[in-house]
């Protein structure tokens, strides 16, 4: 078998061998490229030139990738770059990856390879995240184990990519150069050792580069989730330059083996590091070690509800944070892994995001102009922070979306049941009554057609213009009823959805509050004055009463679209007949001289 799991102690040569033995590394996966064809149970081909979404693979590369340029024979795998036209591409090559087949968090990743040579050649052995949890490239990270460019045939590059989205993206790396000869003369071993908070690069067992979280400041360290492997030979592009008259084709990248080792002591417990109190069925896992036993233990107030004795355990959390542990016992090596789990709002309310010292969710992307370091336009008792976020809607995009990661939403059911409530401070130049929507999603599934991946929607409406107010968001609907509440990894904010507004919204202190601590309760959802609506649930008629005279009344559906403008008269109590209204969730919005109030309603079928 070319693809195997072998967990005997590692027997290696060079400086790394002693370190590997001491650290209890195990060989967990390898392809020795035996036989006569690529093992497609572990690798898949990427075909084409990246078009239409990423023409030239984002680097102005000139090759067309195809399976025909790969050969497995004599115990090695060969990728051949040829001067061969396919469409508008003057060269062909191959790119393979382990995406959606095998992937890892931490370990030692190595390959023994002989490089091609020539101006414009760009062979690479590298890694990308299995899921873009923190956002599109490079916000979720990239690890380049080895890159070589033809104009520097004796030099290898080790690099990571990180930071904001293009064009503000960041990268940091180092190089090492052979003392004599070039990398095409013979095989060399290229490796990276990846631990929770450190990456180390090696060539032929010699360390030449190290990166740690502090080296990326002020950008976050995103190397804490599963990555997969890629092998390819690009031709041309911004980085290597382009072939010229000196370049001889064909050129071959020859790979003797690819191996993955993992140290039992440094394997990470994967899963949410931030949970909500009372979250249920929160899943954690570790990479498998053959022949090992697994003993999980949860902190006081939490319990292991399934998976004890396996690599994956589910936890029901109580009201206090703590450390989750698993003891991995394998022949000759036993390690106890610990992960500290933070908990939201242990004292009634906790801030997910402000713009001075707290960020438990991370920005991914936005359709409008987003700044996270703007000056507070009007500090007051509601929000006295000096620094806030500013969002200016893009009027050409009807549904402006501001995206964040959502590690803290380990159980969306708590928000849907109003056990926990989302709140945010908002200041805007928009007229009172502007809708703001929050949405909890699964990033990968939400890329599919609506309603896939959209777990739950929460809404509030502004009542002031050019003044701070605290918005409290009410659950309105669950578009994807099949998406489990514990599969949330993306959080959206939509300011004035379904409009062409160019208004500006300043916001701060996105927080989670325990509903039992909110003395005012959840009704009305928002508003300047008291009032009541009955019956709720209703069927064919509805009543409202308040302390001031109604001036306007609107009935909206669950997504905030206007259903009906309701008749009003100068009175503090009104009644409406609503025959034939479809069953479901609605909003009633009533405006008096004191401002708008919004109420959450449910229409039930008539008996």
User: pLDDT value at position 425?
Assistant: 94
Final residue of a domain: which of 343, 364, 383? 343
Which tens digits make up the pLDDT trace of 173-208?
999 999 999 999 999 999 999 998 899 999 999 999
Return the CATH number at 585: 2.60.40.1220
Place 23 in a pLDDT band, splitting at 50, 70 and 90. Answer: low
358 and 495 co-located in one domain: yes
Q: Residue 268: inside a domain, yes or no?
A: no
User: pLDDT value at position 224?
Assistant: 86
Place 607 in a pLDDT band, splitting at 50, 70 and 90. Answer: very low
20 and 107 co-located in one domain: yes
Choose the catalytic residue: 61, 71, 110, 142: 142
Q: What pTM did the predictor assign?
A: 0.64
Return the CATH number at 296: 2.60.40
Return the CATH number at 221: 2.60.120.200
Q: Residue 164: inside a domain, yes or no?
A: yes
106 and 172 co-located in one domain: yes
Q: Residue 539: inside a domain, yes or no?
A: yes
32 among known catalytic residues: no
% pLDDT > 90, the chain: 54
Radius of gyration of the chain from its Cα atoms, rounded to whole angstroms:
29
Final residue of a domain: which of 484, 517, 550? 517
Q: Residue 587: inside a domain, yes or no?
A: yes
Q: Residue 198: inside a domain, yes or no?
A: yes
Which tens digits make up the pLDDT trace of 319-330?
888 999 999 988
Beta-sheet pairing, 584-592 with 595-603: antiparallel
User: pLDDT value at position 557?
Assistant: 67
Choose the catalytic residue: 147, 189, 193, 423: 147
338 and 429 co-located in one domain: no
234 and 332 co-located in one domain: no
541 and 440 co-located in one domain: no
* Residues 351, 354: Cα–Cα separation, whole Å: 7
Q: In DSSP terms, which residues pair with 351 in a beta bridge?
A: 511
Final residue of a domain: which of 295, 310, 343? 343
Return the CATH number at 426: 2.60.120.430
Which tens digits make up the pLDDT trace of 414-445?
888 777 888 899 999 999 989 999 999 998 89
Q: In DSSP terms, which residues pair with 312 in a beta bridge?
A: 285
Q: In DSSP terms, which residues pair with 513 in a beta bridge?
A: 349, 421
147 among known catalytic residues: yes
Contact assessment for residue 249 and residue 81, using Cβ atoms and an 8 Å cutoff: yes
Q: Residue 32: inside a domain, yes or no?
A: yes
Q: Residue 269: inside a domain, yes or no?
A: no
194 and 292 co-located in one domain: no
User: pLDDT value at position 61?
Assistant: 97
338 and 353 co-located in one domain: no
505 and 530 co-located in one domain: no
Q: Which of 179, 180, 146 is nearest to 160 (CA)?
A: 146
Q: In DSSP terms, which residues pair with 295 in a beta bridge?
A: 327
Collapsed DSSP state (helix, strand, coil) of residue 517: helix
* H or E element at residue 27: strand 25-31
User: pLDDT value at position 362?
Assistant: 79
605 versus 225: the higher-pLDDT residue is 225
301 and 227 co-located in one domain: no
185 and 103 co-located in one domain: yes
Which tens digits make up the pLDDT trace of 513-538?
776 555 333 333 444 446 788 887 78
Which tens digits make up the pLDDT trace of 545-580?
887 888 888 887 654 556 788 999 888 889 999 888
User: pLDDT value at position 365?
Assistant: 85
193 and 324 co-located in one domain: no
Q: Residue 374: inside a domain, yes or no?
A: yes
Contact assessment for residue 277 and residue 345, using Cβ atoms and an 8 Å cutoff: yes
* Residues 486, 96: Cα–Cα separation, whole Å: 32
Provide the number of structural domains found in the chain: 4
CB proximity list for 96: less than 8 A, separation 6 or greater? 38, 43, 44, 45, 46, 70, 79, 230, 231, 232
Q: In DSSP terms, which residues pair with 592 in a beta bridge?
A: 550, 595
262-273 as b/e: b if 16+ CB within 10 A: bbbbbbbbbbbb
CB proximity list for 15: less than 8 A, separation 6 or greater? 205, 206, 207
Average pLDDT, the chain: 86
Q: 572 lies in which domain range?
A: 526-603
Cis peptide before 167 (omega within 30 of 0): yes
């Amino acid at each position: 078998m070319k693809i195997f799991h072998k967990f005997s102690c590692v027997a290696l040569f060079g400086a790394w061998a002693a370190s590997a033995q001491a650290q209890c590394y195990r060989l967990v996966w390898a392809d020795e490229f035996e036989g006569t064809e690529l093992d497609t149970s572990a690798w898949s081909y990427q075909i084409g030139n990246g078009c239409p979404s990423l023409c030239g693979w984002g680097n102005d590369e000139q090759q067309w990738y195809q399976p025909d340029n790969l050969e497995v024979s004599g115990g090695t795998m060969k990728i051949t770059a040829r001067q061969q036209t396919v469409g508008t591409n003057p060269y062909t090559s191959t790119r393979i990856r382990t995406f959606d087949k095998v992937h890892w968090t931490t370990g030692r990743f190595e390959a023994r390879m002989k490089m091609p040579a020539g101006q414009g050649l760009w062979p690479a052995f590298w890694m990308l995240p299995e899921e873009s949890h923190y956002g599109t490239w490079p916000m979720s990270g990239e690890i380049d184990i080895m890159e070589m460019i033809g104009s520097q045939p004796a030099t290898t590059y080790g690099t990571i990519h990180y930071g904001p989205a293009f064009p503000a993206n960041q990268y940091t790396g180092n190089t090492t150069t052979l003392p004599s000869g070039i990398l095409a003369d013979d095989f060399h071993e290229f490796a990276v050792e990846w631990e929770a908070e450190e990456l180390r690069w090696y060539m032929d067992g010699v360390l030449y580069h190290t990166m740690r979280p502090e080296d990326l400041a002020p950008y976050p360290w995103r190397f804490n989730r599963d990555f997969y492997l890629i092998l390819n030979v690009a031709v041309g592009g911004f980085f290597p330059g382009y072939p010229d008259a000196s370049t001889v084709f064909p050129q071959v990248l020859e790979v003797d083996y690819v191996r993955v080792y993992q140290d039992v002591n440094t394997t990470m417990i994967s899963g949410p590091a931030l949970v909500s109190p009372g979250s249920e069925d929160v899943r954690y896992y570790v990479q498998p070690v053959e022949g090992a036993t697994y003993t999980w233990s949860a902190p006081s107030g939490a319990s292991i509800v399934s998976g004890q004795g396996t690599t994956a355990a589910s936890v029901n959390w109580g009201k206090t944070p703590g450390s989750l542990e698993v003891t991995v016992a394998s022949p000759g090596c036993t390690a106890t892994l610990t992960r500290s789990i933070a908990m939201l709002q242990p004292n009634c309310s906790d801030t997910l995001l402000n713009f001075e010292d707290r960020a438990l969710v991370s920005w991914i992307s936005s359709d409008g102009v987003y700044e996270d370091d703007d000056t507070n336009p009007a500090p007051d008792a509601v929000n006295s922070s000096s620094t806030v976020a500013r969002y200016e809607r893009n009027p050409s995009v009807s549904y402006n979306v501001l995206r964040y990661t959502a590690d803290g939403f380990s159980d969306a059911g708590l928000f849907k049941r109003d056990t926990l409530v989302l709140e945010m401070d908002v200041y805007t130049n928009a007229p009172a009554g502007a809708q703001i929507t929050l949405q909890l999603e699964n990033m990968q599934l939400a890329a599919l057609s609506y309603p896939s991946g959209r777990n739950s929607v929460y809404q509030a409406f502004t009542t002031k213009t050019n003044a701070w107010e605290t918005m409290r968001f009410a659950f309105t609907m669950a578009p994807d009823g099949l998406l489990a509440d514990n599969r949330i990894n993306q959080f959206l904010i939509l300011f004035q959805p379904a409009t062409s507004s160019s208004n500006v919204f300043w916001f701060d202190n996105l927080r989670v509050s325990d509903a039992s601590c909110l003395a005012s309760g959840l009704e009305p959802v928002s508003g300047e004055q008291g009032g009541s609506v009955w019956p709720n649930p209703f069927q064919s008629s509805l009543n409202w009463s308040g302390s001031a005279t109604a001036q306007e009344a609107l009935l909206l559906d669950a997504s905030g679209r206007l259903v009906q403008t309701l008749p009003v008269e100068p009175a503090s109590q009104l009644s409406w007949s609503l025959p034939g209204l479809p069953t479901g969730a609605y909003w009633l919005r009533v405006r008096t001289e004191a401002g708008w109030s919004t109420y959450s309603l449910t229409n039930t079928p008539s008996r």
